[in-house]
Chains A and B, each alone.
Chain A
Amino acid sequence: MWSAAARLGQGLAVGLVVALLCFAFVETLPGDQALRLAAARFGEDLTDPSRAELVRRELGLERPWPVRLLAWLAALAEGDLGRSAVSRERVAGLLAAYGARSALLAAVALALSLVFAVPIGLLSALHPGGVVDRAAAAFSAFTVSLPSFVRALALMLPFAVELRWFPVAGFGQPSHLVLPATTVALALAAVSSRALRHAVVAEREAAHQAFLAWQGLGLAARVLPHGVRGVAIPMVALLSVQAVHVIDGVAVVETVFAYPGLGLLVVRALLARDLPVIQGVGLVVGAAMAAIGMVADIATRLLDPRQVEASWRRA
Chain B
Amino acid sequence: MAPRLSAVSLAVAVTAVLVAPELVPTDPLRQSLADALSPPSLDAPFGRDHLGRCVATRLVYGARLSLAIGLGATLSAVAIGVSLGLASARLGGVVDAVIDRAIDIAYGFPGLLLVMVLATLFGSGPVGLTAALTLAAWPDYARLTRLLGRAQLARAHVEAARLMALPELVVLYRHVWPGLAPQIASLASFGVGQAILTISALGFLGLGLRPPTPEWGAMVAEGLSHWHEAPWMLVAPVTAIALTVLGLQAVAGRRRALDGG
Which residues of A come within 8 Å of B, CB atoms?
10-11, 13-15, 17-18, 21-22, 25-26, 29, 124, 128-130, 133-134, 137-138, 140-142, 144-150, 153, 157, 194, 197, 244-245, 247-249, 251-252, 255, 266-267, 270-271, 273, 278, 281-282, 285-286, 289-290, 313, 315
Contact B220 A137 (CB under 8 A): no
Contact A194 B121 (CB under 8 A): no
Contact B111 A248 (CB under 8 A): yes
Known contacts A18-B109, A150-B241, A289-B108; decide if A138 and B2 are in contact (CB<8 Å).
yes
Identify which of B108, B234, B249 contacts A141 (C-beta below 8 A): B249
The chain B residue with its CB closest to the CB of A124 is B260
Chain B, range 94-134, C-beta contacts under 8 Å to A: 104-105, 107-114, 116-118, 120-123
Binds A, one of B20-28, B85-93, B166-174, B199-207: B199-207
| Contact code string B202-242 (vs A, CB < 8 Å = 1, else 0) | 00111100000000010010001001000000100010011
Contact A153 B224 (CB under 8 A): yes
The chain B residue with its CB closest to the CB of A24 is B121
Q: Which residues of B contact A267 (CB under 8 A)?
A: 116, 205, 207
Which residues of B come within 8 Å of A, CB atoms?
2, 104-105, 107-114, 116-118, 120-123, 143, 147, 193, 197, 200-201, 204-207, 217, 220, 224, 227, 234, 238, 241-242, 245-246, 249, 254-255, 258-261
Contact A252 B205 (CB under 8 A): yes
Contact B108 A251 (CB under 8 A): no
Contact A285 B109 (CB under 8 A): yes
How many angstroms from the CA of A153 to the CA of B242 in the assembled complex?
14
Contact A147 B260 (CB under 8 A): no
Contact B108 A14 (CB under 8 A): yes
Contact A270 B120 (CB under 8 A): yes
How many angstroms from the CA of A148 to the CA of B118 in the assembled complex?
20
Knowing that A10-B105, A271-B206 touch, tell me 6 more A-B residue pairs with CB under 8 angstroms: A10-B108, A13-B105, A138-B2, A146-B238, A147-B201, A248-B110
The chain A residue with its CB closest to the CB of B105 is A14
Known contacts A29-B121, A146-B241, A147-B197; decide if A140 and B204 are in contact (CB<8 Å).
no
Task: Report 9 cross-chain contacts, Cβ distance below 8 Å, ordered by A residue.
Answer: A22-B121, A124-B260, A147-B241, A148-B201, A249-B112, A252-B112, A266-B116, A282-B109, A290-B108
Contact B246 A141 (CB under 8 A): yes
Q: Give the total number of A-B pairs whose CB atoms are below 8 A apart.
A: 130
The chain A residue with its CB closest to the CB of B234 is A153
How many angstroms from the CA of A153 to the CA of B200 in the assembled complex?
14
Q: Which residues of A contact B201 (CB under 8 A)?
A: 147-149, 252
Q: Which residues of B contact A148 (CB under 8 A)?
A: 197, 201
Q: Which residues of B contact A249 (CB under 8 A)?
A: 112
Contact A147 B217 (CB under 8 A): yes
Contact B246 A145 (CB under 8 A): yes
A17 to chain B, nearest CB (A): 7
Q: Which residues of A contact B111 (CB under 8 A)?
A: 248
Known contacts A141-B249, A147-B201, A150-B241; decide if A134 and B109 are in contact (CB<8 Å).
no
Identify which of B110, B122, B204, B207 contacts A147 (C-beta below 8 A): B204
Residue from B108, B147, B241, B258 having most chain A Cβ neighbours under 10 A: B108
How many angstroms from the CA of A129 to the CA of B104 in the assembled complex?
37
Which 4 residue pairs of A and B lie closest in terms of their CB atoms, listed nearest first?
Answer: A14-B108, A25-B121, A145-B245, A248-B110
Q: Which residues of A contact B254 (CB under 8 A)?
A: 141
Q: Which residues of B contact A252 (CB under 8 A)?
A: 112, 201, 204-205
Q: Which residues of A contact B120 (CB under 8 A)?
A: 270, 273
Contact A286 B108 (CB under 8 A): yes
Q: Which residues of A contact B197 (CB under 8 A)?
A: 145, 147-148
Q: Which residues of B contact A29 (CB under 8 A)?
A: 121, 123
A243 to chain B, nearest CB (A): 10
Identify which of A142, A157, A244, A270 contacts B117 (C-beta below 8 A): A270
Q: Which residues of A contact B217 (CB under 8 A)?
A: 147, 149
Contact A149 B109 (CB under 8 A): no
Q: Which residues of A contact B242 (CB under 8 A)?
A: 142, 145-146, 150
Contact B121 A141 (CB under 8 A): no
Contact A289 B110 (CB under 8 A): yes
B189 to chain A, nearest CB (A): 13
How many angstroms from the CA of A29 to the CA of B114 in the assembled complex?
18
Residue from B110, B111, B118 having most chain A Cβ neighbours under 10 A: B110
The chain B residue with its CB closest to the CB of A279 is B117
Q: Which residues of B contact A194 (CB under 8 A)?
A: 258
B99 to chain A, nearest CB (A): 14
